[in-house]
Every structure is written in C-alpha cells, then in structure tokens.
Amino acid sequence: MSSEQRETPTADAAGRESSYDVKAVEARWQSVWQDLEPFRADDEAVRTGAKEKRYALTMFPYPSGDLHMGHAEVIALHDVVARYWWQRGYEVLNPMGWDSFGLPAENAAIRNDAHPADYTYGNIATQFDSFRKYAASFDWSRRFNTSDPDYYRWTQWLFNRFHEKGLAYRKNSPVNWCPQDQTVLANEQVLADGTCDRCGAEVTKRELTQWYFRTTDYAQELLDSLDVLQPTWPDKVINAQRNWIGRSEGAHVDFVVQGRDEPITVYTTRPDTIFGTTFMVVAVDSALADELVTDEHREAFEAYRAEIRKASDIDRLATDRPKTGVDLGVTATNPVTGAQIPVWATDYVLADYGTGAVMGVPGGDQRDWEFATVMGLPIVRTTRPPADFDGEAYAGEGETINSPAAGVDSPLDINGMSVDDAKRATIDFLEARGTGRGAVNFRLRDWLLSRQRYWGCPIPIVHCEKDGEVRIPDDQLPLELPELRGSDLKPKGTSPLGAATEWVETTCPTCGGPARRDTDTMDTFVDSSWYFFRYVSPHDDTQAFDTDLANLWGPIDLYVGGSEHAVLHLLYSRFFTKALRDMGLVDWDEPFSAYLAQGKVINNGRKMSKSLGNGVSLGDQLEEFGVDAVRLTLVFASPPEDDIDWADVSPAGSLKFLQRAWRLSGDVTSEPGAAPSTGDQTLRRVTHKTLHEAAQLVEGHRFNVMVARTMELVNATRKVIDSGAGGSDPAVREAVEAVAIMLSLVAPYTAEEMWERLGHQPTVARVGWPEVDESLLVEESVVAVVQVKGKVRARLDVAPDISEADLEAAALADETVQRALDGATVRKVIVRAPKLVNIVV
C-alpha cells in the first residue's frame, strides 16, 4: 500500500531525508503539547495589563458522533486566527466545550433502551480525543458540558432572573408543533416551507400554554445595534437578522364599530390611503372575528372558519390562492369620511401580527384589490399612478388624490401631497382627534422556550394551587433531571418528565403545601445563549460567571461558525447579552464583535449526505494525508466564507507542499542566531515582505492568500538554496524560520518538526511573530509599465524614486515603444511614477 510508503521516511539521491513520517510526528508532538499546555489563558496577565486580551470563539459542537469535515473546517480556520494572536503577543482565551443537551441523544436512548447520557458522554470523549489529535489550540482546562448539573444549575439560575424581571412568562397561544419530534418549536425553528428545522416534518399548530422569553422587548435595540456590527459581520447575516426582526413604521387607526363600545384598531403602513378604505378585514381565526359576527351571519362564518382550520399550513403559505372571506354583518365608520364600511373575516389577515385587523384599501394594496374584486366591493385610488401604469393596485410614490374625493365632506384634506407628507398629515390629524397614532410594528415574536422532551434543562418552577407559579429558590438549584431511560422517554405529546411522579409531586417553596413541578424542559438554544459567559470562570460554583472576568475578556473578538445560525443562535445570544447587561451582570451590549461565517464542505457539487452516498470521512482523510495536510487543504481551498467542494481540492498536493517546506529545514546549515543581515538581501526582502503581508492577510481573514504567500516564500528559499548562496546563508535560516512560524498557524505538526530541526526548543506556536524590518520592504527597483493607447508595450526597470519627467523620457526613448507609436503624434502622456506610463496618440 502506497500510503505506508508515504509514512516511511525516504531519502533523496544525496542521502538526505526527503520526507517525514506523518504518523510518528503526530504521536510525538501531541504528548509534548499536553505537557507544555501552550494555550492556557491566564486571567492575571490580562488583569494586570501585562498583555492585551483576545477572546476567540468557535461554536461548540453537539456531540452527535465523532468530528466530521464541517468541524475540521471551522477549527482549521478559527485556529489560524487564535494561533496568530498568540504569536502577536496577545493573551488569548480560546475555549471549547459541548452543547450536550438535545434530541439525538434522547432518540438514541429510546432506540437502545439506554440513558441519553450514555450516548452523550461517550461521544464527548471521542470528540475530545479527536480535537486534540487535530491540534486545535483550545484551552482545555475550561471545558464543560451544558448537560452537566454544574452548568445547568446556572441556566436555571438565569431563568429565575429572567422570570423575576418579567422576561420569562407563560401564555396560552397557538404554537408550532412538530408531530415527528412531539414537541413545540420556536418560530425561528420552523423553516420557510413550514417544516421542522431538525427533522423536516411538516409543522402544525396547537393551542397550548407555554413559556416564553420576551425577546420583543429588545426588538428595537436588536435592530439598532446591527448598525454597529455591520462592518465586522457578514452582510448576509445582518440582512437575515434585519428581515427577521422585520420593523415597519405606520399607524394605529381606530374604527368605531356599531354596537361595540371599544373601537377596532387596525395597523397600517399607509395611513395616507385612509380615504380609500372601503371595507375592513379581520383574521378569521381571531377572537375578534368570533365576537363581532352577528347571529344572522354566524352559521356562514363558522362554516368558513372550519374550512380554513382544516387546510394545512403548507396550503396557507401559498400566496397565489384566490381570496376568500365572509361578511360579519357589522359596519365600521371610516374616521375621515364618516362612511359606513362592511367588516369581513378572511384568512389573508394574520391573527398574531399587528392587531389582527386591517383597513381594506383596494386601490393601494394588491391583496385588498383582489379581495374587493372577488367580493364586489368598491375601489378608490388615493395615489395617482404614473401615466403608463397598467397594474391593478398602485402602491408606489405619487400625488395624493380623492382624499377627500369630490363632493365628500371631511375635516382632513391631503389632496396633492406626496405619500410621505400625506402620511404625516394623516397621523397628525388622527392624533389630534385621539382616533389614531403613529406606530411601529415588528415581525419578531417572543421566543417560545418550553419543550416537551426529556434531555434538556428542567424549568425551575413549581405550580402551587395557592401561590401559583413559584420559582425554586436559587439555593435549591440545580433542579436535577429525574432518572428516566429507554421507553420512559418515548414522545407522547406531553413531557416525559410528567411520568416521573415522585419527581413531579413536590411541595411549594413558599407555603409548603402540595405542588407540582413544571414538566417541560428548555429549548437547547437557551443553554448556548450564555455559554460564552461561563468560559470566563467555568469552575465557579458560587455564580453563573464572574462579572469582572467577563468584562475583562469580553466581548468575543472573533466568533467563527456556520451561517445556519444566522438568525437562531446569534439572535438569542444577542438578546441574552442585552438582558444580562440590563441586570448589571455584564457591561457589554453585544457578545460578538466580529463574526466569520465559514462555508460548508460539500462533495461533487452537492451537500454531503448518507442518502447520496457522497460523504467524505474526516477520519479517512486524516489517516491518508495526516492532520496538517487536511487543515492546510481546508484553509487554502477558498476564501473562508465560501463552500469547499472536496472534489476540487488536493490534500495530496498539500502534503507535498508541507514536505517541501519541511525539507528546507534540513538544508539549513547555519547556527541558530546567525545574523541575517550578512545574507542574501533579495531573499531577505522576500521574507520580510511575506511576513508583513501574511499578518495583514490573517487580520483580513484572507487565509487562502496567506497560504499562497507562504508557498511563494518556500519557492524563493528553495531557489536560493539550490542555485544561490546555499544552505549556509543566514538569510536562508531567517526565511525558513519565518516559514515555520507562518506554518504554525495552519500546520502545527510540520511547523514544530521544522522548528526542532532548526535547532530550537518547542514550541514554535509561542515564539512570537518575527519583527518586520521596514527598510527591507522598500523595493530596490520596480518594473514600470509603458502603455500605448492603453496597451502594454514595454516594461522598464526603474528606481522606485524615479521622477515623472525621467520616467516619461525613458518610456519615449524605448525602442519597442517607438515601434508601437509608428511615428504617430503623441497627444498626451500620463505618468504615474514609478509604476506606469500611458502614451495617448
């Protein structure tokens, strides 16, 4: 087998070793690093100001099995930055742990008649070994699992704080229900096509009393601070969050309804179109519709409502269905025209957005136009469309008309105004009259956090007949999960915890009377919404986290993870941070100062999957090419945010390069510390320029280009050894040491091996970035390009400080330039010394 040969050191014609034994090198350095612990973060170094901090974080994994290609990619990319920061002299906090509550463990336990912990902690042990073999620079002394009582005790403690502040509450409401997983889901966990983001089952609705976090309290701030994050977060994540929060500006307008004391308030973004309101529509499944309908119309209404309820969510999501509805038999008064308009119920109005009632303006809204057309309701335009407009409803800019229409008497007149002016005038009018007001609406809903499953954090609430919802006192936490296993965990639509009678039946902490525990567990996104706080004091058994240390280390300077969490985890964590700040537990507003969304690893143009049979095993790749080659391949393949198609890359090529770089270290014959200033100046220029550029490239997250520059330095050094001054030149040593240090960010084993062969002590990971000699960054001579009519005709070697006049003269004197000019009259010469001359004829 050839891979065996690859592992065996071989020799070239000159008898020198031409490759190293990948397996032996890996085994050896792992134990050295475990003794040295080079990446242990020191609180004191930061507290005393001795070193500047950097907090590097990559999303902790769910322990679903061993690490896979996706993990390998994030860690490879993330590690470049974390290791770079160490080399630049920062004190780096780069922790790792496990997001270890969750459904796969529970489903496995049911299948195997086991406990979810068996699966969970077995996989954690496997992943831990793999992480270390993969040479990830994590501070392992800080690791924890969110399913440990030591951790979830503090998740519960935080829940108590949210509950105290009214940020955690229960309400009865129609909720998303996954029939496959037998649990409710948050809005964020239902995909755009109405399916469950975990299992793909079609999500249905249920009316249930559930726990919520009041994320909507922070809607405006969550939106506003996206502006601050914009420069350092990917556009697509900012955009996704903006869309998700979905702010709109408009007005609430009160419509007096006959036979009802309270007016009905509608929300509209176009108060300027109020004169065109010819009917009102309310959501068919709202309490309001049920209350308004007259006896005469009730039968038709209930028949319609039953029909709508039968339709699946998938059908309801289709936007191209014909409009349907029923007349409720009541009328409302248009507050500006006094006209009586009919009130209808329909399914195109959503019960849980705005007020669940809408003013029907068919002239200005396409949906209302369609409804009016089907139902035979009048249509009035209130904005003048452009002359060439041939659509139906017109929602664009234009002059306000028919407001009021000729012959209509109204205390408000907005005719002739632009849309914006008419909006403002209408709101002012309504506010003065007390029948309306400017309003802001958000699409964002409160976060539904209860789950009807076992393997999650228990909600620390007791329900007492006398005292109601009672928090379990902090000093009685953690409330541990009861021991359930195997078939006890089978989903049955209510939480499995309910079956643990002895656990459920308890006494009220307030009155001591009989009470029942809450049987739901928390969404696992709650666990991950604060884990980055816990890392600053992971073993503290007196508090969730140390506020001083959190303020010292935080916020996270770079967060690396997949964009599948663009809304979910990132939004929840941002909400938690703001809430904890308001509780005085931390002083930062945003958890992640910069965010890098890495691409996926795919194969042959498609997502890797078992059903397609195109999966690439990380273990196999590591076995065949070694850790360094796999890491290098992932870093070099593309910009970090792009997907990597494994079919397009070459781990064999990466290994070849690493061996080539390693061979350089065997050719160096000068002693450590040899003064490079006496060596080859051309090579020195390349070395220093590369170090300078590589640093900037890492800081700009352009890791693939940084690798390319390292390759160029290797090529240049090879050339000097083979055809120039040879391996004894101290400039060669300087270059090879630079290569080892740059490689320490990407290929830690090879770098370590090189460093040792260069006569140094481990570890190369902490030797520091070499100082760049600025004087070597200035070029001795540059190539000036001479263009004639914009086309390159000649290249001249010139001094970097050549004057414009001299450069122009040199260009015009050039023979090929003269030939290209062919006697034509020179009209103009543009000179950009020292790089370019363009001759215009």
Q: Which of residues 608-647 bind RNA (CB under 7 A)?
A: 624, 636-639, 642-645
**Residues 658-677 vs RNA: string with x where CB under 7 A?**
-xx-----------------
Buried b / exposed e along 589-619 (16+ C-beta atoms within 10 A): ebbbbbbbbbbbbbbeeeebeeeeebbeebe
Nearer to RNA, 541 or 815 (CB): 815
Count, residues near RNA per rule CB under 7 A? 92
State how far the Cα of 85 lies from the Cα of 53, in Å rounded to an integer. 9
In whole angstroms, the minimum distance from the beta carbon of 577 to RNA comes to: 21
**CA 743/CA 711 separation, integer angstroms:** 10
Residue 795 near RNA by CB under 7 A: yes
Binding range to RNA, per CB under 7 A, among 5-13, 107-115, 119-127, 483-491: 5-13
Kindly tell me which of 315 and 548 has the beta carbon lying closer to RNA.
315
Query: E-assigned strands of 449-572?
Result: 450-451, 461-464, 468-471, 505-507, 514-517, 521-522, 558-562
How far are the Cα atoms of 208, 484, 520, 522 from residue 452, in angstroms, in the given order? 12, 14, 5, 9
Nearer to RNA, 161 or 692 (CB): 692
Shortest separation between residue 357's beta carbon and RNA, angstroms: 8
CB of residue 485 to RNA, shortest distance in Å: 36
Contact residue for RNA among 612, 792, 805, 826 (CB under 7 A):
792
When asked if residue 702 is in the footprint of RNA (CB under 7 A), the reply is yes
Rule CB under 7 A: is residue 374 a binding residue for RNA? no
The reply on whether position 653 binds RNA by CB under 7 A is: yes
Structure tokens at 802: 């050549």
Q: Considering only CA atoms, which of 602, 711, 705, 597 is closest in space to residue 648?
A: 602
Contact criterion met (CB below 8 Å) for 115 and 109: yes
**Site mask, RNA, residues 312-351, x = CB under 7 A?**
----xx-x-x-xx----------------------xxxx-
Which residue, 15 or 407, is less far from RNA as judged by CB?
A: 15
Q: Does 12 bind RNA (CB under 7 A)?
A: yes
Q: Which 802-821 positions form the footprint of RNA (CB under 7 A)?
A: 819-820
Site for RNA in 411-470 (CB under 7 A): 441, 443
What is the rounded distance in angstroms from the CA atom of residue 68 to the CA atom of residue 721?
40
In sequence order, the β-bridge partners of residue 468 are 464
State the residue for tokens 């100046």. 681
**Residues within window 55-114 making contact with RNA, judged by CB under 7 A:** none
Choose the binding region for RNA from 75-83, 216-224, 372-380, 714-722 (rule: CB under 7 A): 714-722
Q: Which residues ranging from 209 to 228 are in contact with RNA (CB under 7 A)?
A: none
- Under a CB-based contact definition with an 8 Å cutoff, are residues 461 and 268 in contact? no
User: Which of 438, 441, 434, 516 minimizes the C-alpha distance to 472?
Assistant: 516
CA-CA distance, 338 to 433, in Å (whole number)? 14
User: Judged by CB under 7 A, which stretch of 2-10, 144-152, 297-305, 731-739 contacts RNA?
Assistant: 2-10
Residues 231-290 within binding reach of RNA (CB under 7 A): 235-236, 239-240, 242-244, 246, 248, 250, 267-270, 283
Cα-atom radius of gyration of the chain, to the nearest Å? Answer: 34
> Hey, which residues between 160 and 199 contact RNA (CB under 7 A)?
192
Smallest gap from Cβ 286 to RNA, in A, equals 9
Interface positions, 715-774, toward RNA (CB under 7 A): 715, 718
HSE (side-chain half, CA atoms, 13 Å) at 581: 16
For RNA, the binding residue among 208, 649, 812, 821 (CB under 7 A) is 649
Which of positions 548-587 make contact with RNA (CB under 7 A)? 563, 566-567
Nearest approach in angstroms of CB 350 to RNA is 4
- Contact call for residue 3 and RNA (CB under 7 A): yes
Smallest gap, in angstroms, from Cβ of residue 682 to RNA? 15
Q: Are 91 and 45 in contact, with CB atoms under 8 Å apart?
A: yes
What's the CA gap between 205 and 551, in Å, rounded?
42
Q: Which position among 256, 616, 711, 799 is part of the footprint of RNA (CB under 7 A)? A: 711
756: left (phi over 0), alpha (psi -120 to 50) or beta: alpha
Quick one: which of 402, 429, 427, 446 has its CA closest to 268?
Answer: 427
